[in-house]
Structure 1
Amino acid sequence: MDTDHQTIVRRFRNEPMALKDFLPILFGLTMTIVLSAAARAEPVSLVGFGDSLMAGYQLPPEDAFPARLEKALKEKGIDVTIANAGVSGDTTSSGLARIDWSIPEGTDGVILELGANDALRGIPPEETRKNLEAMVARLKERGVAVLLAGMMAPPNMGPDYAARFNPIYPDLAKEHNLVFYPFFLDGVVTEVGLKLDDGMHPNGGGVGVMVDRFLPTAELFVRSLAKGE
């Protein structure tokens, strides 16, 4: 039994208690309960940090990956908000340059999706790895968890480039103990009907497929961050 409760019981038993004496104690207990409940009810706060694949290139905001994933998680009873911090054209270098101010204080976790533009531009995989690792380190220093979304080099870059680029993501996930989704475009990259006319970016249907496949990993990630657990 806590001190305030003991005080109320003792004073009711041993002496009359005026309403003006009782109200401050009752108010204090009520506020404690209300604030505690509010803390437990606070949603998990995520940021989707990436390039055009995250931003929702040529799609309405409600069809972008973060919005669709947030909706899917809420339909499973998970209280979460996912801010969209995707910027079309971003490489890992430009992502590193903006990650400190793009992730607000109070963020619980980040879905980190970058590297596709590095591969399209033929940026040395060693640079891509260095930038991704630096972003992971900065987020972890701030106490922000990371879900790493993997990428794969396009076939036209050749087998040598792919052999250097593709292992970046599973290696980083293993080394830094990150929740990991192997390929962000899984289920879409080879399906013409799920992409825009540019043949690269997912359309609304494509985003839906991406969300469906990503959902179990996202659910695992969010539940591990849920406040009060």
Structure 2
Amino acid sequence: MGMRLFRRCFVSYGVAGHLGKALSLILWLAVPAHAEDDAAPVTVLALGDSLTQGYGLPPEDGLVPQLRHWLDERGIAAGIVNGGVSGDTTAGGAARVGWSLTPEVDAMMVALGGNDLLRGIDPEVSRANLDTILEEAAARDVEVLLVGMSAPGNYGADYKAAFDAIYPDLADKHGTLLAPDFFAGLGEGDPAELQRYFQPDGIHPNAEGVVRIVEGLGPHLAALIEAAK
């Protein structure tokens, strides 16, 4: 599946799960052992769908563990909570962000919108949901990195323009950091060549693809952590 087709249907498959009240325990486990030192690391909530959750991969190869590895290699102290829920839309994220932002969370990476695209949801609905998420973060004084998605051209020029504008517009409105494209790390090469970075479903990145995606997202995450200190 080429990148355009992938961008059209990179759905987060699976039954939507719930983090539940165990999130506080997860947060505690996600923070490195040296978190009790005077210079405690920043705790980041990664709010997303199956791309964040690590669908189809061994736990250590998913996005969040690989982001932790990227930070560790650079000596950046931070805990990252995997708040990815397979199948989630922006509406799902807006519904759970309030209880997901526990007192331990200092910053949040928001990577949602792919399933909205798959379902052809009105971009204004997606915009409103993401706006709700960012407003909740602002109310909690939580720094945010908003990760953009791009609509495929076959949805029509008007739909694509409306959807693609959501992320930079909201980042400007709320003063958040912006990673323009979740898949930037994969590059813009021949779609046939890019297939080697995906699982057999042609939708979710494989371990090598995640590593490349992390190379693209890592600097943005590092900036978020610095802003949250």
Q: Is TM > 0.5 for Structure 1 vs Structure 2?
A: yes
Larger radius of gyration between Structure 1 and Structure 2? 1
Classify the secondary structure of the residue corresponding to 2:55: coil
Separation of aligned partners in 2, 1:177 and 1:196: 35
Quote the offset at 1:90 in angstroms. Answer: 0.4
CA distance in 2, matches of 1:38, 1:93: 35
- Is the 2:185–2:214 Cα contact (8 Å) retained in structure 1? no
Q: Which residue in 2 is equivalent to 1:22?
A: none
SS in 2 for 1:147: strand
What is the deviation of 1:39? Answer: 5.7
Q: Percent identity?
A: 43
Is this contact kept in 1: 2:185–2:217, CA < 8 A? Answer: no
8 Å Cα contact 2:185-2:215 kept in structure 1: no
Runs of 5+ consecutive residues of structure 2 not aligned to the other structure: 1-34
Q: Which one of 31, 40, 43 corresponds to residue 41 of structure 2?
A: 43
Shift of 1:48: 0.6
Aligned match of 2:94: 96
State the one-letter code of the partner of 2:91.
S
Match of 1:161 among 159, 165, 180: 159
- Answer whether contact 1:120 1:154 (CA < 8 A) is retained: no
CA distance in 1, matches of 2:182, 2:93: 17
Which of the numbers 199, 217, 223 marks the counterpart of 2:202?
Answer: 199
C-alpha distance in 1 between matches for 2:152 and 2:46: 23
Aligned residues: 190
Distance 1:221 1:58 in 2: 27
C-alpha deviation, 1:126, in angstroms: 0.2
Tell me the residue number matched to 1:171.
169
2-side partners of 1:186 and 1:57: how far apart? 19
Residues 83-162 of structure 1 correspond to what in structure 2 (within 5 A)?
Answer: 83-162=81-160
* 2-structure distance, mates of 1:38, 1:86: 26
Q: Is the 8 A contact 2:142 2:228 kept in 1?
A: no
- Tell me the C-alpha RMSD between the 2 structures: 1.6
Q: Which has the higher contact order (CA 8 A, sep 6+)?
A: 2
